[in-house]
A and B are shown apart, each in its own frame.
Chain A
């Protein structure tokens, strides 16, 4: 049963590729943000250099404001291609990955200018945050592998 299902999915994916090969793409953002734009290494406010929006892209929603580090899901879910113009997936992996032993602020302790989750002693604070809103934790710790470090106290 599962085997047949998998085959079906593979076929569907192949179909997808063929369909795409026919290719009616319309606007596609470039693979890389132009190097000659000389972006400084700080969170960009896109509309400093771009208009708020045109028929192809809505730049304003990607502004890296103070809270963008903890609230980018609405953008990342839909327009991952825009993120990949400037970020390789490894940038995301520091906070989002199936199995990383070090939390991002332990891996990059000197990057104090970033807003990384769980800074400082989080073992104490997490008892409160985790009760108040466990849904946010489940996004990143919601499978057996990402919850591996939790089992020494939970379960």
Chain B
């Protein structure tokens, strides 16, 4: 078993994936395959405590592989992983080379049916679960109204604490679809680390359709170890063309929300013994003034059992053009009494797509993020971040080349410059 683990978490993943790639010259094979390869080269300077170089030049490779219809019965393979190697050997990272297989699984998908099964490394979003596991996942419908899904295996997130013997994760969700009236689901998740309880959650979720196209969404989570509710999240969606308003109410009990045994590391570990609870009342509102101009406003009120209450308010405006062209800005203010500090946040950005052929580049991008703090952090009272970029699509958009530079003056760096070059190559299409 440890052999498998080492394989998954070692830098060899990257090499292995590259080798697989060489064996799949896409297009020539009968199966429909989709391969995306992204190489990123970054460069920046850091004071590294070990002697030698302060320049860090990490090279990243991301490889995504989708092989569809490997067999006529509907089996496909999907994989995504990354590897990184510090070309400058700066000592900035724990080890010069690192990598991770984010997912990699075989999928069986029955045609014209809801039946799906996956085997391998899978990320599961389902009711109370937001987990990566090495194991099996299956989903389908028992009747047109009742759907069922389940998973079992070993949690990847806990693999770094000791080894994986005694680690387990399983759970599932069952849902009843009441057609145009409501949808209700029940889910559960149980995980162990080295034989000890890590996480035991059960939950229920609800969609309830109200008159005038209003919709109520609810989600509640119960920690069976602590025997109390960990979370309630309830949200009402009020469409009111061209407005869309979402008031919501959330409640968290820290002892049971963060009380997940070995899963909760610092800084969350202490919160599980704090006896604190948090209630959030918020509104997200969206005004589609026209297809070109979208406006948004957000208000969040935080109140605690012990701490001082806090508030966040923000306004956003987006000007939307053809393809990806967009410009916009955001202004927010956090009154963070709970953290004993406030900030003002300003963001301005633009992205200009499909530049005329006379320019060498296909798009340019710019971003500015400015934060002003009420109380100084590391004796600085603001952060300024500026990013400029440009890129070119070549070979019928199969290859994207991008160059960008980020500059930052903030409480951590007097003047930090980072450059990045990225090339992404894709056979086939995908988002």
Residue contact B278 to A133, C-beta cutoff 8 Å: yes
Number of A-B residue pairs with CB-CB distance less than 8 Å in the complex they form:
341
Asked whether any CB of chain A lies closer than 8 Å to the CB of B70, the reply is no
Please classify the interface of chain B as helix (H, G, I), strand (E, B), loop, or mixed, using the class held by over half of its residues. strand
From known contacts A88-B64, A154-B266, infer whether A98 and B367 are also in contact, taking CB-CB under 8 Å. no
From known contacts A23-B140, A107-B40, infer whether A134 and B209 are also in contact, taking CB-CB under 8 Å. no
Residue contact A20 to B141, C-beta cutoff 8 Å: yes
Chain B residues within 8 Å of A, Cβ to Cβ: 36, 40, 60, 64, 66, 78, 80, 82, 84, 98, 100, 102-103, 109-110, 112-115, 117, 123, 125-127, 130, 132, 136, 138-145, 148-152, 155-161, 166, 168, 170, 175, 179-180, 183, 185, 192, 195, 205, 207, 209, 213, 215, 217, 219, 231, 233, 235, 237, 239, 244, 246, 250, 252, 254, 257-258, 260, 262-269, 271, 278, 280, 284, 286, 288, 294-296, 298, 302, 310, 312, 316, 318, 320, 323-326, 328, 334, 336, 338-343, 345, 347, 349-351, 363, 365-367, 369-371, 373, 377-378, 383, 385, 387, 389-391, 402, 404, 406, 408, 410-412, 420, 430-431
Instruction: List 25 A–B pairs whose Cβ atoms lie within 8 Å, in order of A's numbering.
Output: A5-B168, A9-B170, A13-B136, A17-B140, A28-B141, A53-B180, A67-B298, A77-B125, A78-B183, A80-B126, A87-B431, A88-B430, A89-B103, A101-B98, A102-B40, A110-B365, A123-B412, A124-B378, A128-B341, A132-B339, A134-B268, A143-B155, A145-B158, A150-B266, A154-B267
Chain A residue nearest to B215 in the complex (CB): A61
Residue contact B143 to A24, C-beta cutoff 8 Å: yes
Residue contact B126 to A92, C-beta cutoff 8 Å: no
Chain B residue nearest to A146 in the complex (CB): B157
Residue contact B336 to A109, C-beta cutoff 8 Å: no
Residue contact A120 to B383, C-beta cutoff 8 Å: yes
Q: How far is the CA of A77 from the CA of B150 in the complex (A)?
A: 14
From known contacts A77-B205, A134-B271, A135-B257, infer whether A20 and B377 are also in contact, taking CB-CB under 8 Å. no
Q: How far is the CA of A10 from the CA of B152 in the complex (A)?
A: 7
Chain A residue nearest to B98 in the complex (CB): A101
Residue contact A98 to B156, C-beta cutoff 8 Å: yes
Please give 18 more A-B residue pairs, beta carbons under 8 A apart, in addition to A99-B102, A132-B310.
A2-B168, A20-B139, A23-B113, A25-B141, A26-B114, A31-B109, A45-B288, A54-B180, A66-B286, A66-B318, A78-B183, A98-B156, A111-B351, A113-B351, A124-B377, A142-B260, A142-B264, A150-B266
Chain A residues with CB below 8 A from B136, complex form: 10, 13
Chain B residues with CB below 8 A from A50, complex form: none
Q: Which 6 residue pairs are nearest across A and B when measured between Cβ atoms?
A: A26-B144, A20-B140, A120-B369, A143-B157, A155-B266, A131-B339
- Which of these, B215, B252, B254, contacts A58 with CB under 8 Å? B215
Chain A residues within 8 Å of B, Cβ to Cβ: 2, 5-6, 9-10, 12-13, 16-17, 19-21, 23-28, 31, 40-42, 45, 52-55, 58, 60-61, 63, 65-67, 71, 73-74, 76-78, 80, 86-93, 96-102, 106-107, 109-113, 119-121, 123-125, 127-135, 137-139, 141-148, 150-151, 154-155
Residue contact A74 to B157, C-beta cutoff 8 Å: no
Q: How far is the CA of A92 from the CA of B113 in the complex (A)?
A: 25
- Which of these, A25, A52, A133, contacts B144 with CB under 8 Å? A25
Residue contact A131 to B336, C-beta cutoff 8 Å: yes
From known contacts A19-B148, A66-B294, infer whether A41 and B302 are also in contact, taking CB-CB under 8 Å. no
Q: How far is the CA of A121 from the CA of B258 in the complex (A)?
A: 26
Residue contact B406 to A109, C-beta cutoff 8 Å: yes
Residue contact B141 to A55, C-beta cutoff 8 Å: no
- Which of these, B110, B159, B369, contacts A119 with CB under 8 Å? B369
Q: How far is the CA of A24 from the CA of B112 in the complex (A)?
A: 11
Chain B residues with CB below 8 A from A77, complex form: 125-127, 205, 219
Chain B residue nearest to A80 in the complex (CB): B125
| Smallest beta-carbon distance A39→chain B, Å | 9
Chain B residues with CB below 8 A from A42, complex form: 320, 323-324, 326
